[in-house]
Structure 1
Amino acid sequence: MALSTSSLLLLLWFAACSNTSSDTVSGSETNNLQTTVKDTESSLTEREAADNIAVETETENLTDTLLALSGDGLLLIDEQSGKTQTIPFDTDIATSTVAISSVLGEPMQKNRNSECSAGAMSFITWSNGLSINAIKDRFVGWTVHQNTESANLTTVNNIGLGKTLADLEANYNVEVTESTLGIEFVASDSLFGLLSANKPDGIIINLWSGIACNFR
Structure 2
Amino acid sequence: MIDEIIQANRLGIHLIRLVSMVPYWVIEPLLPYCEKYDVTIAIEIHAAMAFDVPETKAFIEEVKRLNSPYAGLVIDTGIFCRRLPRVVRNYEMSIGTSEGIFDYVDSLFEQGTDLHQVLKKSGGRYPEELKKEMKFEHDHISVPLLDGYENYPLEVLDDLIPYIKHFHLKMFEMTQEGPEYSMDYKALLTYLHAKGYDGYVATEYEGNRFTLAGQPMMEKQQVAANQK
TM-score, length-scaled by structure 2: 0.24
Say which structure, 1 or 2, has more relative contact order (CA 8 Å, 6+ apart): 2
Q: Could you say which structure has the higher strand fraction?
A: 1
Compute the TM-score of the two structures, normalised by the length of structure 1. Answer: 0.25
Larger of the two Rg values belongs to structure: 1
